Amino acid sequence: MRFEVSKVLDAIEKRLSTDPALARGVVDLAEVVRYADLDGGRPATLLRLGLVVDALSRRLAEENVVVYVVVDRALLSDADLTSNERMVIRRWADDGLVEVLPGAGDRTLEVADLTGLPVISRRPYDDQRERRPWLGEPGRLLCPGYGPGNATIEPAVPGGPQPPSRATVRGQEVLARLWRCPEPGCAAFGPSRAGRPGGQPPPRLRDGVPVCPRHDEKLLAAGPRPAAEVLVARVDGTVRQRFVVSSDQPVVVGRAPDGLDQGPGVLMLGPWLAEEARRWISRSHVVLEILGDDLVARDVSTNGTVVRVGGSRAESDRLMLTRDQVRLLGDDDVIELYPGVQVARAGQWSSGGVANPSSVMADAPTMMIQLPASD
Ligand SMILES: [Zn+2]
């Protein structure tokens, strides 16, 4: 059973990021692990984070949805969690996948405030509404609950599809810069995030001064943050993966680009492709990069890359890039590696298009998580 639990935690780990460009919601982990009525199980279990991730994926109808997790430091010594769960959380923190600090509740709201991401919580935050009026806007506060056979996430204020995240003015200011933490080896604000995808989290603001959330040290400005675009890969109408292309990190998209599998700088489409598409699409097919302020596509394939100008399906708007040809991508342009295998800016498609996104809980032992019966 331990083996199955660790497989679930590995699956959850792939859905964690403190990069505001990739995350789709902010959660206070201490709250989530104690949502006992989600499954009627133990007072606290880390597996509930998986239920929440799955519920958010279903709400967004997307595969591989990522969350920004804030961990109250007290959770690291919480005896209601298993020692293995506490160890896993510590490792996630050391790897910069989650944020650990005292006072996670406040920080959760601050991250949502600065980045424009929704908060996922069952607290109504009545005491915060005056200071943070956005909590009353549609889609900004999402409440986990449970429906027949599954955990759910519903907006506290209904209002159609989730609006795109917009940082506040102060958020834009702090997110426009890179920051350095004086603490050696800081996972969030260290000198290099090499080997890990994604950009820096927003700093914590103490009396308006940016500080490291974990080390509580004043952060040093380290120049402008590299320009970045959030893109999505869609296969047969389903959003499979969001990813970031930045001026210091181009991304190679293909069937199985060289070197790494799903690491930074590489987007591997292979597992999502049917036989015909697998044969057509090159291992490394198209390179996306940012030059100046522009997003640019460069074909590196055998069979060429189609650009559908303005997202149009008309034959006259279909442009073929052959090897080493470069095209500056307009806001609505869609890249097509093969019919139905597409890459575009994240705002291009209003829905992720998948009714049943794959679950991070697939390997969960049923005796640990018992969802309400679906009768
Ligand atoms: Zn630090």
Mean pLDDT throughout 79-104? 94
Name the pLDDT band for 375 (thresholds 50, 70, 90): very low
Altogether, the residues listed in the chain come to a count of: 375
Residue 226 has pLDDT above 80, yes or no: yes
pLDDT at position 327, please?
A: 96
Q: How far is the CA of 88 from the centre of ligand 1 (A)?
A: 20
The distance of Cα 81 from the centroid of its chain, to the nearest Å, equals 25
pLDDT at position 349, please?
A: 86
Q: How far is the CA of 153 from the centre of ligand 1 (A)?
A: 32
pLDDT at position 162, please?
A: 63
Distances (CA, A) of 372 to 150, 193, 366: 7, 41, 12
Q: How far is the CA of 111 from the centre of ligand 1 (A)?
A: 16
Q: How far is the CA of 216 from the centre of ligand 1 (A)?
A: 7
CA angle centred on 155, ends 44 and 197, rounded to 5°: 70
Q: How far is the CA of 185 from the centre of ligand 1 (A)?
A: 8
Average pLDDT, the chain: 89
Task: Tell me what percent of the residues of the chain surpass a pLDDT of 90.
Answer: 69
Q: How far is the CA of 8 from the centre of ligand 1 (A)?
A: 29
Comparing CA positions, the residue from 245, 230, 255, 236 lying closest to residue 288 is 245
Beta-carbon count within 10 A of 315 CB: 6
Q: What residues have their beta carbon closer than 5 A to ion ligand 1?
A: 181, 183, 186, 212, 214-215
Q: How far is the CA of 295 from the centre of ligand 1 (A)?
A: 31
Q: How far is the CA of 87 from the centre of ligand 1 (A)?
A: 20
Distances (CA, A) of 211 to 22, 179, 221, 354, 360: 22, 9, 11, 39, 33
Q: How far is the CA of 217 from the centre of ligand 1 (A)?
A: 7
Q: How far is the CA of 184 from the centre of ligand 1 (A)?
A: 8
* 19 touches 197 (CB < 8 A): yes
Structure-token match 């794959």, residue found: 358
Q: How far is the CA of 79 from the centre of ligand 1 (A)?
A: 26
Residue 75 has pLDDT above 50, yes or no: yes
Q: How far is the CA of 181 from the centre of ligand 1 (A)?
A: 5
Tokens encoding 205? 């603001």
Residue 10 has pLDDT above 80, yes or no: yes
Q: How far is the CA of 28 from the centre of ligand 1 (A)?
A: 19
Q: How far is the CA of 211 from the centre of ligand 1 (A)?
A: 8
Q: How far is the CA of 221 from the centre of ligand 1 (A)?
A: 13
Residue 284 has pLDDT above 90, yes or no: yes
Q: How far is the CA of 371 from the centre of ligand 1 (A)?
A: 39
Exposure on the CB side of residue 4, measured as CA atoms within 13 A: 10
Residue 367 has pLDDT above 80, yes or no: no
Q: How far is the CA of 18 from the centre of ligand 1 (A)?
A: 13
Q: How far is the CA of 101 from the centre of ligand 1 (A)?
A: 11
Residue 112 has pLDDT above 60, yes or no: yes
Q: How far is the CA of 218 from the centre of ligand 1 (A)?
A: 9
Query: Residues 151-190: pLDDT tens digits?
Result: 899 888 877 666 667 788 889 999 999 999 999 989 999 8
Residue 366 has pLDDT above 90, yes or no: no
Name the pLDDT band for 283 (thresholds 50, 70, 90): very high
Residue 374 has pLDDT above 90, yes or no: no
pLDDT at position 195, please?
A: 45
Q: How far is the CA of 178 from the centre of ligand 1 (A)?
A: 13
Q: How far is the CA of 267 from the centre of ligand 1 (A)?
A: 29
Query: Residues 245-254: pLDDT tens digits?
Result: 988 889 999 9
Query: Residues 351-364: pLDDT tens digits?
Result: 788 878 889 988 77
Q: How far is the CA of 180 from the centre of ligand 1 (A)?
A: 8
- Sign of torsion, CA 24 26 29 34? negative
* 18 touches 201 (CB < 8 A): yes
Q: How far is the CA of 223 from the centre of ligand 1 (A)?
A: 17
**Model pTM score:** 0.91
Name the pLDDT band for 264 (thresholds 50, 70, 90): low
